[in-house]
Structure 1
Amino acid sequence: MSGSCLTIPCSFNLRNDLIKYLHTGCAAIWTRTDNRLTSGFPAQTTEQTGDLTKMDCTTTFNNMRTHDSSYYYFRLDCHNTLKETFLNLYVNILVKADPPSPLLTPSTLEVEEGTTVNITCSAPAPCEPHPPTLIWTPILGKHQDRMQEEQDKTKVKISTLTFTASHHHDGEIISCTAVYKKQDGIPDVPVTRSVTAAVLYSPKNTTVSVSPSGPVPENSNVTLTCSSKANPAVRNYTWYRTDGSRETLIGTGHILNIEASKTHLKTPQCQSVPLVQYQKTVM
């Protein structure tokens, strides 16, 4: 990312007869494909973080710019017999204006209520001294952060969010924001990736509304409406009346139209039926 640093993992091998020339004063030099010394990386902005005496040439370049994009080769100069350019040790650096978005795993989220959910957010950490900060919104539970080294020795910042799925989380947009620090005085750069939670839950808050409300004359029409929150949505409603332990079916559907009479003094009930469970509401 332009304005930030870049750490290049690097190691090299030497012939046995050259190892004796290694010393702490050796210098790591990176040259471009046109064989010019990297004018964009003066000594004061280049940090040799690897131990050259152990053949570790890991280097951090500070305040990268888009015009620094190029192929770079590693050269070792020990100011003695050992001066060698390693043509097999090269890296293609592409400096972009903006950092990549973090990765969320899983990329889609559909769980049952009560399930323990783990969502992992990972973001490249090309600037090893200043890895990105990962921020979860909303804060649904605890999270654990760590740095991980990939097979190519590059680093990745990882944060795992853990929470118990509730029906309150259904439709919740869960976001992970990676905040990258810049070195050129420009404000930090945030990039965000989100996933929408789909929580499957049985009917809740089943209610019955009556129209018209209040006392009604005998033989007048009354409309009963049953509603319930569930995922997946309730598709089947049944209406029945209880008399002791006996239940009598009086209708089906979201809306029930009845004629008010003395026989309807018994309490009618609405039953919302999802795929596997149901909830009853007494009116």
Structure 2
Amino acid sequence: ESLYKTVWVFVVVVVFLSLCCVSGALCGTFNIKMPKNINVLRGSCVTIPCSFDVESRFENNLDDSCKAYWNDSPSFNSHNAKLKPTKDMTGDLKKKDCTTTFINTNLLQRSKYYIRLECNNALKYRFSQTGVDVSFIDDPPSPTLTPSTLEVKEGTSVSLTCSAPAPCWSHPPALTWTPNLGQSQETLQENQDKTKVKTSVISFTASHLHHGNKICCTAAYRKQDGSPDVTAETSLTPDISCDPSGPILENQKVTLTCSSNAQPAVENYTWSDGGALIGTGHTLNITVSTINSNFFCNATNTVGFKIQAKKNNLSFLLFSFCSNLFIGVICSLLILRGIIFVLQIFTLIL
């Protein structure tokens, strides 16, 4: 029985070690990890994230003499390699980091590139099983806004995140917000394929002043070949609703807002308490009371301005009606019809 247990344990260990060797967990094998493709902004630098592993017997051969070479065909050596990065362009090869930054992307072309590891000892290996497709773009991709839409109530705390690809780690894009809604926090984050993105997070409290006003995030990329910087932007238009949490207390200060989708556009807003003019502009700051609690907003466009007549109830009613319709031709016809109607009434009276 003890012999049976010994054989059984031996079989389990062998199977376990075999699986580990297949996965490369214990028995080291030559393999490499890098993105399948990289988009290079023409004239800018690019960083290709890269890591590798070697067979266990070569672990001790990873030293300061090791170099990484790149070529656009899988069959090459250190002598005919098209790209021979210096140490300051390459990661720490002793730690199996072959990440490479190309400052001068004019050396690259649209192709698939492979890497070769070569040391001043027995370790020399070409990773021909995996390469990275390099493509060139003239314009950077648009940043991403999260969330992509914004519909909240006034007073809500809001956080917006702007993300833009950072193909060159040493020169990530500069992110700016328009308008400036406050302090932003920026980080350089890593994707699953080890590529990176620049993110900027801005937080603010939603206000009626933000309603309908575009919020824009711009990513500026600096080029290393001396050509002008290029930018890409994205934006959203927030929808801020007002939902008071309860009744307004007497003598409380409030801000009233008046807006209109007029055609032609509104030229003037005026406020009244039903009689006297108490303010102008699309907002009114007042202190409410039981005596002073009714407020009226009047929006005037070019059509309304032309037909407004002071101290004339009939003309005032027609003016208000047209200001709401915002269609000049219809308003003009209604006014003409109203004047004819009034003349007919006066004719009958006389």
1:214 to 300, 308, 311: 311
Q: Distance in 2 between matches of 1:101 and 1:38?
A: 35
1:1-283 matches, within 5 Å, as: 1-33=41-73, 35=75, 37=80, 39=82, 41=83, 43=85, 47-65=88-106, 68-201=109-242, 204-205=257-258, 206-207=296-297, 212-214=309-311, 223=317, 225=320
1:159 offset after TM fit, Å? 0.4
Q: Residue type matched to 1:155 in 2?
A: K
Q: Residue type matched to 2:317 in 1?
A: T
Instruction: Report the 3-state secondary structure (helix = DSSP H, G, I; strand = E; otherwise coil) of the residue aligned with 2:53.
Output: coil
TM-score by length of 2: 0.58
Q: Deviation string for 1:193-221 (max 9, x for gaps)?
A: 11112222367344258x753387xxx78
TM-score by length of 1: 0.70
Q: Residue type matched to 1:116 in 2?
A: S
Greater relative contact order, per chain length (Cα 8 Å cut-off, separation 6+): 1
Mark the structure with the bigger radius of gyration: 2
Instruction: Report the 3-state secondary structure (helix = DSSP H, G, I; strand = E; otherwise coil) of the residue aligned with 2:60.
Output: helix
Q: Distance in 2 between matches of 1:163 and 1:97?
A: 35
Instruction: Report the 3-state secondary structure (helix = DSSP H, G, I; strand = E; otherwise coil) of the residue aligned with 1:24.
Output: coil
Instruction: Report the 3-state secondary structure (helix = DSSP H, G, I; strand = E; otherwise coil) of the residue aligned with 1:178.
Output: strand
Gaps of 5+ in 1: 227-283
Aligned residues: 225
1:135 offset after TM fit, Å? 0.6
Identity of aligned residues (%): 47
Cα contact 2:74–2:128 (8 A) shared by 1: no
Gaps of 5+ in 2: 1-40, 244-255, 259-295, 300-307, 322-350
- Map of 1:261 onto structure 2: none
CA 1:221–1:128: 2 relative to 1, 3 Å: closer
More helix by share: 2
Cα contact 2:175–2:219 (8 A) shared by 1: yes
Cα contact 2:50–2:98 (8 A) shared by 1: yes
- Map of 2:35 onto structure 1: none
Q: Distance in 2 between matches of 1:60 and 1:215?
A: 77
Q: Distance in 1 between matches of 2:203 and 2:192?
A: 27
Q: Distance in 1 between matches of 2:117 and 2:158?
A: 50
More strand by share: 1
Cα contact 1:4–1:182 (8 A) shared by 2: yes
